[in-house]
Structure 1
Amino acid sequence: MFSKSLCVLLAVGVVAAHPFLGADPNTLQCDPRGQVFLLLPHYTDCSKYFVCDHGREVEMPCPATTIFDFALQTCNHEWATTCQLRDRGDEIEGSGDDTEVQKAMTVNLLDCDRSESASRQLPYRGDCQRYWRCSGRTLEAVYCSDGLFFNPESRQCDFEANVKCDAVMADELAGEFIVYK
């Protein structure tokens, strides 16, 4: 009898300790009335998350060397958790067209299947207004908003004066298109 009670208590403890274990964050959204406390994974960066504030998602950073742990609803060491990003759906960041490409077409430094590199953005060779990012497990080339350029140091779109970009390199997608003359 004692061992059955202990097993039930342990099972309840595991479920209570990991309230979102196995849950899909893409099916959850912030409560507009602010009645439910919820933290949601970021769309592109494992070291960030969203706090629900009366129906609005407020972006928050994790402390250095940690990533967001959705199951525990807190930031955790990379070795202790797995990066879980949300899908953006049809929402498109920036003002330009997004171009999906195969992983083999770009630098090997950005592997969307690995949590360490999935949260990174890398410069797009040959175009200072574009960069590479992971959306879920898909690598995509993204444009910055009009008038902004990708800053490889801060890994975000920035004013041209703050960016050191050498656009002389060959375009990474040039081999994908047929040029008719």
Structure 2
Amino acid sequence: MGSWILTAMSVALLLATSLTASTQSPAVSCPVPGPALIPHQFECSCFFQCNRNDTIPALLLRCPNKLHYSETSPARCEDPEEVLCTPLITTRLTASTDPPACPSDQSALDYVYLVSNPRNCSQFYRCHQGEAQLFECPSYWYFDPVFEVCTPAKEPSCPPTNDEKILLPHPTQCNAFYICDWGNPVLFYCPSTLFFSNKTKECDFPQNVDCNRCHL
């Protein structure tokens, strides 16, 4: 039996989320042939379980009670001072006026959940004990709500000439867009509360705009 197998005690404590329903390739990759356990991209209390001969993680596992995932401990979840965690840098933002509803049932309060911001898909909320803290992925990365990680988005590409007016959606911000100027994308923002519609090439009310374009 390999060292990746969880102990009975840790299985009882961990909370597992199946990832098999996703068709997106995440910004985390499993070693082949595996199986293996790998750390989360930036949340020290989470880690992934990888199946044999599969590069996409199968389960997202969560340590309880502010414990951190340990690659060396048989228990897998240890006190933070016992674990070296070097996550991808994310930026904590000021509190939102409209945070999401975090999981509130008693069985979920001890675990960390990462929830997308519906107004800006480069941002996410870190939910713990029913409270939400707003964070942002690195520039030109979007938050993947299935794997709960940040994933790089494609930067806009403009043609070298100005034969016609070209407007492009921002890869992560619903209220932003680019106008191409001789090969250079120039950033613009919609008026407050409006989103850019890639279909009509205009700013419109959010309910009229499909802003799920972070995978462009």
The answer to which structure, 1 or 2, has the higher relative contact order (CA under 8 A, 6+ apart) is 1
Which structure shows the higher helix fraction?
1
Question: TM-score, normalised on structure 2?
Answer: 0.32
| TM-score, structure 1 as length reference | 0.37
- Whichever structure has more strand as a proportion of its residues is 2
